Amino acid sequence: MCTYEIEIKLPILDRNTVKNKLIQLGFVAAEHIRECDMYYNSAYHDVKERGEALRIRKSTDLRTGKTTAQINFKGKKIDQVSMSRQEYETVVEDGESMEQILKALGFSPVAGVQKTRTYLKREEMTACLDQVDGLGDFLELEVIDKEEKFREIHLKNMSHLLAQLGLSMEDTVTTSYLGMLMGERRY
């Protein structure tokens, strides 16, 4: 199923302070996960050149030790102020087999991103406190919606939440973690 990922992200200085403020604002702590993302590209469909993303994510629940995998395709960004884009995502039973399928189809692994992520949820919004290897700490706010037409409303709600946290939309970045790690620091 196609959905729209409405997302903003910004670097933060103190994850615990932000987490405590989010909890005070009604967010509930959910998963605590170690995510290992591997991004793919091919000569016949240059994902990077098109501004898209194709990845396999392996997630390990740090409480239970259980590991799952998913494949994810993200289309081009919809605007210049957020990370919003069309997204297709599904769980795969065997991440290693999925990697081999992509390689057989001519996709090669490009680079990886590893992070420890704490999820907090309130209604339809998810807040992620990320500790990204090689980059530092970030806050991501995300809403998944079936329709792109609600993007502006979601972004306005995110802006309001940032103000409550003492942060601002001006602090957000539109470069992916992979882009930052590869030197595309546009923030």
39 assigned to active site: yes
Q: Which of 39, 40, 119, 187 is catalytic?
A: 39
In a 3-state reduction of DSSP, which class is residue 99? helix
Classify residue 50 by its DSSP letter: T
Q: Any residues with CB less than 8 A from the CB of 44 and at least 6 apart, and which?
A: 106
CA–CA separation, 37 and 158 (whole Å)? 25
Burial 137-148 (b: 16+ CB within 10 A, else e): bbbbbbbebeee
Candidates 113, 139, 136, 137; CA nearest to 128 is 139
Could you tell me where the beta strands, DSSP code E, fall in the chain? 2-11, 28-41, 53-61, 67-77, 85-92, 108-122, 125-132, 136-145
One-letter identity of residue 132: V
Distances (CA, A) of 68 to 53, 59, 95, 177: 20, 5, 8, 21
Q: Which residues are catalytic?
A: 39
